[in-house]
Structure 1
Amino acid sequence: MAKKMSMRENNIPLSQFGVLVAQLESIVNSAAHKSPDPLLCFDLLSDLISAIHDEPKESIMLWQRKCEDALYSLLVMGARRPVRHLASEYVRKEALHMLQNAMEGCGGSAAATAYTEAFRLIMRVGVVDKSSIVRIAAARCLKTFANVGGPGLGAAELDSSASTCAFNDPVSSVRDAFAEALGAVLALGMNPDAQVQLRGKGHLASAKKLEDGLQKHLVSPFVKACGVRSRDVRICLTLAWVSFLQAILLKYAHPDTELQDFTSQVMDMLRVDTSIDAQALACVLYILRVGLVDQMTEPTQRSFIAILGKQLQSPDSSSPMKVAALRTLSYTLKTLGEVPTEFREVLDDTVVAALSNSSQMVRVEAALTLRALAEVDPTCVSGLVSYGVTMLTALRESVAFDKGNSFKVDLDSLHGQATLLAALVSILPKLPLGYPARLPSQCLKFPRKC
């Protein structure tokens, strides 16, 4: 059989692509006696790229395996350091692009030495290159390396590669590329079964899960981000979060119910804030919507609403966390298009209770959430109006006569109920079932009595 295969390969007709591959093999075979000429290799690779675009697919497939083997051999040999430094913005980028394609084509089945050299080139040369287009190519190579299983990488290498994803780069496209790479690396680290372990001389160690990877590389840097570039860092970490969550679901085929497990870690990025940081809140909302809600099926969205309710009930939740939970709750209700029964049962203890929160932002957000609930289920408008008017009247009397310790609490609740009624009035024309006739008149009577 081997003899037949050899005869079949020898009978392959030569084409321009085949001639170039043969020349490449000749350089590799003579490398033991004479180092490859860098300029000759560059010219040959340039002609090879042109031939790939010009020749028919059938002709290329005949020589594809020989070409891959020769290219890998050439990559393992490497180039002398002076040549690497003299290579232009374009040559280094194309080299990394070819490396990326080679890794995608071979997956995790190539020689161990090839992956070792590829990882070394990416980490020691590509990610610190002076050219932005080379750094982008290096980030994409790193993402590809993770997508093919990070062949030969252990937990320490995964951790160090995640740490090299610098988000203080002055070029936004470089930061975005490294954000995607970080998400891919962390997703691989969380899935040890997908990590490719190459067999070598030593014992084949089992892959380990990258412990505390999310806390170390996503949560803590987000919380610590400060200074003039903090906004860029937070945006990059946000994109890395979404890249990670998408990989967990799409690449590693985890059930969408597991996405809920990351809610607390995402929310923790707002825990230390005593005041509401608009940019930090926007980043967390983006992760919750794009990374979690938009990837969930309807049954999972139902259970996720219950999780958000628990977040509102938690005494450890900061004001920004409550605002994030309420706004995500509104988004999820509108996406789902209905109000789950299990959420109705805890409505008073969650959103309604938030109308009396000491934070004005939380009270306003709670009113907007109830407005979203009314838009999704117009049958609840009458009950919300009755509750709001009754509480408003009672709180007005309490504020008018009670100036004790409960004055501030009653005043906050009064503001919350008034905001709720204002929010309901704002959507009256949109309600398909109309609205209670007494609502406008009662809302007008209240300020007259104050």
Structure 2
Amino acid sequence: MPPGILTLADGLAEKATLSAANTGFMLICSALVMLMTPGLAFFYGGMVRVKSVLNMLMMSFISLGIVTILWVLYGFGLAFGTDTGGIIGWNSDFAGLGHIGLTQLWGTTTIPIYVFAVFQLMFAVITPALISGALADRVKFTAWALFIALWVTVVYFPVAHWVWGDGGWLFKLGVIDFAGGTAVHINAGAAALGVILVVGKRIGFKKDPMRPHSLPLVMLGAGLLWFGWFGFNAGSWLNNDDGIAAVAFVNTQVATAAAMLGWLAYEKLRHGSFTTLGAASGAVAGLVAITPACGAVSPLGAIAIGVIAGVLCAMAVGLKYKFGYDDSLDVVGVHLVGGIVGSLLIGLFATGGVQSDAKGLFYGGGFGQLGKQAVGVVCVLLYSLVVSYVLAKAIDLVMGFRVGEDEEIAGVDQAAHAETAYDFAGAGGGTAARRTTALGDSLTKKVDA
């Protein structure tokens, strides 16, 4: 978010002129960010085994329902209402979004409050959905839904206020987070680690092969994420008047491309192959890393951030085998590590000539900005990790967070949703249908193995 643009002295918009162009731009960006959650569902869905595809899709989709309602009721007010002590916000006019004028503007911007609220809603939706990838194959859907509701309330809404809210303590400190390196990615990655420590490992972890069942689905999801991310980053400047949104757009493309190449290069040297899963994962790592930095660096800086993030995230995904935590789809390795890398590298590569005058070490700014970025990284990481662990532990004690062993082995799709992703029997009957069913069962067993 642009520094200094959220100035709500009494929670009401200052006088400004409504811009139809900026309003339209932000509505399009909001729709692009909404598309990222289904894109994430496909990305994660392709990476799991056949027996858990629908559950993985639903763990993302349910966030669209739960978070939307909570955001309207009180989330927007907590995150962006009038500040209290730098920790949380509140504005009764924002509760239920029922006391806001149709053309009442957000702060000193030229867009309506409603437009800003719906744009920020899409950020709130996708953040808990990111966590779900770490928990594939083994958690109760009801427990997960409850966790989302509690987590956004006590973790995401306050952290969003710290980072972006007028008066938020990290905002006042001068931490740069253009579009969510701390509030979204470090927040989600640390939360994923906290919940993993509670629910434990999948049955067969480090023993059975758990390969993606559909790499084309993974690539489709990665493509949708890449596409939607332009709205995620460019839209975070809240206008299209001064060229900064364009810089964010370019940096998003550049860093993502560089990270994909960096991941693939590391993969080739380390494992001997260029894989489609590596290309998709590398692209996402670049998107994550450039998110906080896209308004602070030049395209050359974006290339550096992308390459560094691609290599470090590729290295980090193997840490789960070394340390023994089961991060199913590498949320910690990509989102936590990528968010840390992108946030810290602002302290090196910030040019001081884009979104703010803050300069990184390589541009004569010394270590000051790097220190501020480190404070933001550490505080968000520790808060999210600890609180997420406590929430998951409480849910586990009250209702159990994990499905039973038999249900996990048979597949969460049947246990939670009474459905399967693929019907190999077809519409016909007789011998042909039985042959098709047998072939489908055989393929399913092979993929699940």
Larger radius of gyration: 1
Q: What TM-score does the superposition give when structure 1 sets the normalisation length?
A: 0.20
**Greater RCO, CA 8 A, separation 6+:** 2
- Name the TM-score, length of structure 2 as normaliser: 0.20
